[in-house]
Amino acid sequence: EEELYTRGINVPIKSISSTDAVFHNPAGWLNLVRPGMSLYGVYPEKKDLKAPLDLKQVLSLKARIEYVKTVEKGEGVTYWGKFIAPKKMRVGTIHCGFYDGIPREMANKGRILVDGVYKSSIGSVSLNHYLVDLENVEAEKGTVVELIGREGENTISKTAETAGWMTYSLLNHLNIYTPRVYYENGEPVAVLDLSS
């Protein structure tokens, strides 16, 4: 900074602080900070949980079940039969996949909130489909499910950890063309849909 001044260069607004610096390096705040993912209420790393900011995740990812079917015991589902039904099962196909930002590493590992109950994903994550076990829930075609929740078993941090991803990566892979619904005081106030 001093060298710039000696050369007669005055930079009136200075910004070098990412979310990490916002949490841990006040000397680097200068005039502005770039909080990035903390705007979503997400701590980048576990060490950040001790930061002097109380964040609450605001983002969730929801989709609809587009098809419900019965899978017989021994039948395989998704690519390469990534899941073999251990018994007769009711399975829902969700219209969301790795195109939308669900990590492919969530194959057989996802936790999906269906009718207030966390259910397991089954099989691989395809480009735009994700399957869920519908045992003991009443969900049907058209039911909205939560793939990433603001709290519980499928938060951004827990989903990223399960996939072996950084939280940064999970947020960066959310597809820009997936429609966004913005809420204020629990009510939807705006929709952003770049796909149309």
User: How high is the pLDDT of residue 108?
Assistant: 96
Spatial separation of the C-alpha atoms in residues 57 and 156, rounded to whole Å: 8
User: How high is the pLDDT of residue 51?
Assistant: 84
User: How high is the pLDDT of residue 179?
Assistant: 92
Please say whether the beta carbons of 134 and 143 come within 8 A.
no
Tell me the pLDDT of the chain averaged across its residues. Answer: 93
Spatial separation of the C-alpha atoms in residues 137 and 146, rounded to whole Å: 14
Spatial separation of the C-alpha atoms in residues 73 and 126, rounded to whole Å: 22
> Model confidence at 12, in pLDDT bands (50, 70, 90)?
confident
Half-sphere exposure at residue 110, Cβ-oriented, CA atoms within 13 angstroms: 31
Task: Return the structure tokens found at 6.
Answer: 């000696």
Please say whether the beta carbons of 31 and 15 come within 8 A.
yes
Q: Give the tens place of pLDDT for each residue, 43-98.
A: 888 888 888 888 999 999 999 999 999 999 999 999 888 899 999 999 999 999 99
The residue ranking higher by pLDDT, 23 or 117, is: 117
Please say whether the beta carbons of 66 and 160 come within 8 A.
no
Q: Give the tens place of pLDDT for each residue, 124-159.
A: 999 999 999 999 999 999 999 999 999 999 999 999
Helix (H) or strand (E) holding 112: strand 111-114
Half-sphere exposure at residue 59, Cβ-oriented, CA atoms within 13 angstroms: 21
Task: Return the structure tokens found at 69.
Answer: 């079917």
Task: Return the structure tokens found at 178.
Answer: 């997936």
- Tally Cβ neighbours within 10 Å of residue 34: 13
The residue ranking higher by pLDDT, 11 or 91, is: 91
How would you classify residue 26: left for phi > 0, otherwise alpha for psi between -120 and 50, otherwise beta?
A: alpha
Residue-wise DSSP of 127-185: SS-EEEE-TT----TT-EEEEE-SSSTT-HHHHHHHHT--HHHHHHHS-TTS-EEEEET
**What mean pLDDT comes out for the span 101-120?**
97
% of the chain exceeding 70 in pLDDT: 99
Q: How far is CA 182 from the centre of its chain?
A: 16
Does the structure show a pLDDT above 90 at 29?
A: no
**What mean pLDDT comes out for the span 33-48?**
88
Does the structure show a pLDDT above 70 at 113?
A: yes
User: How high is the pLDDT of residue 1?
Assistant: 66
